[in-house]
Amino acid sequence: MTATSTDRVTDAVKRRYNRIAPFYDLVVGRAPIKWWELLWSKVEGKKILEVGVGTGRSFQLYPVNAEVTAIDFSPKMLSYARAKAQKHKLKVNLLEMNVQKIDFQSNAFDTVTASFVFCSVPDPVRGLTEVKRVCKPGGKVILLEHVRSENRVAASLMDMVNPLAFWMVGDNINRRTVEDVRASGLTVEQVTELAAGIFKLIEARKPLD
């Protein structure tokens, strides 16, 4: 995508997420909490960035002694996250920010996490490249994602349905996120299959050099 077309799609996706914010927990909440528990059991270091915090699904799993910064590009989603953080007296730095242009210095975080985010980022490789930039050399990137099936029939069906899914909620259901992670320059260390051949936990690391 060109910069202009990416910006247009980003604005459209943001509007959709603002629209569905009141119902987001009903949708995401149906996914097993053990997937988030697995993700957060893998974090390393003290300075953590959560990309696409949404309404704060991960809040209860933040490491006790970590310094967590959490970003999202949807102000409506963040309003729910802020209310949840205040209710539970959680210390987290919540900021409105687009993963395709992260406003942090390079090499700032020990670990970067995201849950069901890169299905909706208009330019996922650009976003993942930004994730790599703000992660420290040798630091970890952990992604919980749904991706295109490796089954040819299922993958073809996902390709057919994808325009409708994107129009409704801004999600692409046929992303090849493992390949996108590699394309960003991160080193994929492990991919854990979670369910149905389309839900995966992707663990990657920023090269030391």
Residue with tokens 């210390």: 91
Q: Quote the pTM value.
A: 0.93
The predicted-structure confidence for 22-73, as pLDDT tens digits, reads as follows 888 887 777 899 999 999 999 999 999 999 999 999 999 999 999 999 999 9
Residue 48 structural domain: 3-205
The predicted-structure confidence for 85-103, as pLDDT tens digits, reads as follows 999 999 999 999 999 999 9
Burial class (CB in 10 A: 0-12, 13-18, 19+), 102: buried
- Residues across the chain: 209
CATH number at residue 23: 3.40.50.150
Q: What total number of domains does the chain contain?
A: 1
